[in-house]
Amino acid sequence: MPKLCKQSALDPHGRFVSALRTWGDVSALDEALVHELPMRLQLVPAQEEVSREGERASECSFVLEGFFFRHKMVAGGGRQILTFDLPDALPDVRCLHLAVNDYSLTALSAGTVARIPHAALRDAIAQAPGLADIFWCASMREAAILRERLASVGRRTAYQRVAHFFCEMYVRMKERGMASEDHFALPITQNDLGDTLGLSTVHINRTLQQLREDGIIVSHGKSHRFTDWERLRQAGDFDPAYLSLTAR
């Protein structure tokens, strides 16, 4: 038995196909080509980088298990976390088109990724345009998430940002079966949260206390519960529309 986790026993190609299905229709050809893709499994310890900002990448990653995040560094050591990636994510298909990684990909908790050479992916896409369509679709939603985050960081208060972030992660985890009705567990420190929302750790801490006082969330460690979705939603000025893709 592999040591890490039951899921790593699952064949990555199968997982890949089922991930693609959540984004669009996968034809028999698409599926056959995916099964031909070379995939190199990589166990990533918590906090270890999978790829680094500034490097030229030759492989894409597919998240099999664990939480990952992407970030950029700015002058003076500041860190901006761009987004968190859940299992089934393709954190860097985009790198097929950019010269150099413009962000780093790091494991938040220990996890597994499958690495796929660019060349192989490009070949597959060339043969099955439907695949490109699905990738595009996935990256479009990712961009929508990014736009919403920009609006948060640029124009929302700390209180709203935190509530909004919880709403978003809840919805995203729910759709992957990683959350129950009113509860989800995010292995993220207050420091990470700050670097995600453009706030200091201390201020995140105080904002969380405020949210708890107001009875909007209840947290025990990494585990978060809310009693009233509607109140959380309003507190965060959250409208899930940006997360929906076209039903074609």
Partner DNA sequence: CGTGTTATTGACCAACATCAAACTTAGTGG
Partner DNA sequence: CCACTAAGTTTGATGTTGGTCAATAACACG
| Residue 110 backbone phi and psi in degrees, to 5 | -55, 140
With 0-12 CB in 10 A as exposed, 13-18 as middle and 19+ as buried, what is 10?
middle
The whole-angstrom separation of Cα 90 and Cα 48 is: 17
- Binding map of DNA across residues 176-205, x = CB under 7 A, - = no contact: -------------xxx--x---xxxxxx-x
Which residues contact residue 51 at a Cβ distance below 8 angstroms, ignoring those fewer than 6 apart? Answer: 57, 61, 92, 95, 101, 104, 105
Binding site partner of 32, from a second copy, DNA, none, Cβ cut-off 5-8 A by kind: none
Cβ proximity to a second copy: between 65 and 148 the closer is 148
- Binding map of a second copy across residues 182-201, x = CB under 8 A, - = no contact: -------------x-xx---
Q: Token pair of 69, please?
A: 């995040």
Residues 48-67 that bind a second copy (CB under 8 A): 54
Q: Is 31 in the site for a second copy (CB under 8 A)?
A: no
Q: Is 242 in the site for DNA (CB under 7 A)?
A: no
Q: Is 129 in the site for a second copy (CB under 8 A)?
A: yes
Q: Is 78 in the site for a second copy (CB under 8 A)?
A: yes
Please, are residues 103 and 82 in contact by the beta-carbon 8 Å criterion?
yes
The whole-angstrom separation of Cα 87 and Cα 85 is: 7
Cβ proximity to DNA: between 115 and 161 the closer is 161
Binding footprint of DNA on the chain (CB under 7 A):
157-159, 189-191, 194, 198-203, 205-206, 208-209, 221
